[in-house]
Chains A and B, each alone.
Chain A
């Protein structure tokens, strides 16, 4: 295909402009985070991160986020694998109906359920607990996870399963010894997506928790911002701390990320 030189140059210009537009806020945050806390004073101030960490209590917020994210990821991956395996390889009465019931969950926006959840969890005394942060997010992730894992198990080769069965493996062994080791990429993609969704979730954490010790990182940033004394460089440093774990994960696993987001989004 021949394309004129000028067209190609023009494309590069558009590409660079757009990459700059996409990167600018990210770079701005990074550069602001190492600027001086005192207006007008120059220099390089990486200690902002330390100040934000202690003054903004980001150590505690990130700790909570990590506990919540690990719990949500582990639980939803486990439940999704189990259910996805059954939906993908077995046939039982009502399996189609149950699957579509679960799939419906992908479309339920958290704003619609957060109101009754708040009152229900209050009634059973679960507000301000890890359970209130974890279980609603497991429920939302499982809806997508079952769908995602079913697609993998359906596509996994029938002959492998037949062979394992002939060797006398039961359904439990086939799942853990045969299919799951082969399905590592599918599980990995699920794990990174659920980690990102959980880490970035704002509304559930905002509603379910008033105890400062249970605030997750995005919420911590919001409250840090709300304090009148906060300087912009410290706020930027806090923002970097909140965004960094997912961004690093993204840069390492961006192929999985993009594929997962697009496939999941298109099918879900």
Chain B
């Protein structure tokens, strides 16, 4: 039913959803934009600050660091899972192995487990005397046994690797679905032309998966920008020496712990604009496929 007939009663059907949406999502977003224009501690009367809170985003070293950490996390949450997903999905498709359903179920599992649980589990695994370090020592790799989450140099990487663990399943499943849509004829033709594994991957799989790759990149980048639970639970207080503060954590910290509500709101609005822009890109790219 593409067009449907004109009916005023439609408004009544839409009204309840719209009311809740406006009251608890849209209005707070606009309110956030308003708050971001003030210097406000949440208690006393705020003072007008104009765009100062936004200028601070670039000027303040701590905040710049938070956005810098977000960029590092994007490598682990997005780039790495997409690369791994491409390799795994194309190898699986090529060899036509059995047990694909089981594999798909297993690698996707991290996506459905609460981030708090993921954080608690990995925190124990990465602990100074945890299983990872024990395994490294058993292999004689004592030099690589760190207090992963307790040292400034490794904490962010450790959080990032957990992100890789969470996101890879999503990319594998997404790419498997994408490869499934590629016509077998293309692969046959590549074979007849004498293409090897790499050649086949480069000239058949990769071009055909381009929309899926764009989708996967955007989704994982967005979720890395939104990362809060993982960082908050694995490295409380922003990690050793603030080495793991990210924008999402800064919002929470500023608004509810250090009384910089205006600045928190400005970070929130900036994050929303980023996420919105990326979503627009994915909608465009995904839409072009249909």
Contact = CB atoms under 8 A, between A and B. Distances in A.
A163 interface: no
Contacts of A90: 4-7, 9-10, 13
B59 interface: no
Contacts of B225: 109
Contact of A85 (B13, B29, B114): B13
B105 A11 contact: no
B26 A18 contact: no
Interface in A196-239: 196, 199-200, 202-203, 206-207, 217-219, 221-222, 225, 232, 235-236, 239
Contacts of B147: none
A58 interface: no
A171 interface: yes
Contacts of B111: 261
Contacts of A23: 106, 109
A11 B97 contact: yes
B2 interface: yes
Contacts of B8: 92
B32 interface: yes
B63 to A, nearest CB: 14
Nearest to B116: A218
B204 interface: no
B246 to A, nearest CB: 10
B72 interface: no
Contact of B17 (A102, A207, A217): A102
Contacts of A10: 91
Interface residues of A, number: 101
A60 interface: no
Contacts of B13: 82-83, 85-86, 90
A251 B261 CA distance: 42
B240 interface: no
A210 to B, nearest CB: 11
B28 A117 contact: yes
B interface: dominant SS:
helix
B96 interface: yes
A28 B215 CA distance: 32
A15 B103 contact: yes
B85 to A, nearest CB: 10
B271 A109 contact: yes
Given A136-B25, A243-B114, A267 B18 contact: no
Given A7-B94, A18-B88, A95-B10, A108 B113 contact: no
Given A10-B91, A261-B170, 16 more contacts: A1-B96, A15-B99, A25-B165, A28-B124, A79-B17, A86-B13, A105-B21, A112-B269, A116-B29, A118-B255, A120-B31, A140-B25, A145-B17, A202-B229, A225-B120, A232-B124
30 contacts: A3-B94, A8-B95, A10-B91, A11-B92, A15-B91, A22-B168, A26-B109, A79-B20, A80-B17, A86-B11, A90-B10, A91-B3, A92-B8, A98-B14, A112-B272, A113-B29, A113-B32, A113-B268, A115-B251, A118-B256, A138-B20, A138-B24, A202-B116, A202-B228, A218-B116, A222-B233, A235-B124, A236-B121, A239-B117, A265-B219
